[in-house]
Chains A and B, each alone.
Chain A
Amino acid sequence: MELVISIATNVILGLILLALLRWKTTRDEVRIASAEEALTLFRKHFPDVSGIATVCADQRAAVIELRPGPEVGLLQRQGRRWNAQILRPGDCKRVRRTADGTLTLDLANFGWPRAELRFADASTLEKWLNRFQSLTVRDASGQYGDSQRA
Chain B
Amino acid sequence: MHPVNTGIPNVPDPIYFQAVTYVQVFLLLLIPLEILLASASVIRAEYDLRDTIANVGVSIGSIFFWGTLSWILFQYVMLAYDHRLLNIPVTWWSFMIAFVLEDLRYYLWHRIGHRSRWFWASHVVHHSSQHFNLSTNLRQSWTSQFSGLILMSVPLSWLGFHPALVGLAFSVNLLYQFWIHTEAIGRMPRWFEWLLNTPSHHRVHHASNPRYLDANYAGVFMIWDRLFGTFVAERDEEPVRYGLVHNLATFNPIRIALHEYVAIARDQLKGRLSLRQRIGYFFGPPGWSHDGSGSTTQSLRAAESARVHGPLIA
Residues of A within 8 A of B (CB): 2, 5-6, 9-10, 13-14, 16-18, 20-25, 44-45, 47-48, 76, 78-81, 83, 85, 108, 110-113, 115, 142-144, 146-150
Q: In the bound complex, how far is the Cα of B63 from the Cα of A10, in angstroms?
A: 13
Top 6 nearest A-B pairs by Cβ distance?
A111-B259, A112-B249, A79-B48, A149-B287, A110-B262, A25-B49
B39 in complex: contacting residue of A24, A45, A110, A146, CB < 8 Å: A24
A134 to B100, CA, bound (A): 57
Kindly name the residue among A9, A16, A85, A147 whose own CB sees the greatest number of chain B CB atoms within 10 A.
A147
Task: Enumerate B56-104 residues with CB–CB distance to A below 8 Å.
Answer: 56
Asked if A144 meets B266 with Cβ closer than 8 Å, knowing A25-B48, A111-B249, A112-B249, the reply is yes
Known: A9-B25, A79-B131. 10 other contacts (CB 8 A): A2-B18, A5-B25, A13-B32, A23-B39, A78-B247, A83-B247, A110-B258, A142-B271, A147-B246, A150-B259
A-B contacts, 16 of them at CB < 8 A, read A16-B32, A17-B31, A17-B56, A18-B49, A21-B47, A21-B49, A47-B303, A47-B307, A81-B48, A111-B248, A113-B255, A144-B266, A146-B293, A146-B295, A150-B244, A150-B263
CA distance A111 to B260 in the complex (A): 8
Tell me the nearest residue of chain A to B258, going by C-beta: A110
Given A2-B18, A83-B249, A147-B266; A9-B28 close (CB under 8 Å) = yes
Check if B35 sits within 8 Å of A81, measured CB to CB: no
B270 A143 Cβ-Cβ under 8 A:
yes
Q: Is the CB of B244 within 8 A of A149?
A: yes
In the complex, how many angstroms separate the beta carbon of B212 from the nearest chain A beta carbon? 14
Interface size on B, residues (CB 8 A): 56
Q: Contacts A24-B47, A148-B287 given: A14-B249 contact, CB under 8 Å?
A: no
A22-B49 in contact (CB<8A): yes
B36 located at the interface, meaning its Cβ lies under 8 Å from any Cβ of chain A in the complex: yes
Interface check B289, CB cutoff 8 A: yes
Bound form: Cα–Cα A16–B135 in Å: 13
Contact A79 B259 (CB under 8 A): no
Partner of B56 from A14, A22, A111 at Cβ < 8 Å: A14
Residues on A with C-beta less than 8 A from B53 are 18, 21
Pairwise interchain contact B52-A21, C-beta atoms closer than 8 A: yes
Would A110 and B255 count as touching, CB distance under 8 A? yes
Known: A13-B28, A81-B130, A150-B246. A20 touches B39 (CB 8 A): yes
B52 proximity list for chain A (CB < 8 A): 17, 21
The residues of A that contact B183 with a CB separation of less than 8 Å are none
Nearest Cβ on chain A to B4's Cβ, whole angstroms = 18
Contacts of B51 in A (CB 8 A): 79
CA of A108 to CA of B32, assembled, Å: 37
A23 surroundings in chain B (CB, below 8 A): 39
Query: Which residues of B1-32 are within 8 A (CB) of A?
Result: 18, 21, 24-25, 28-29, 31-32
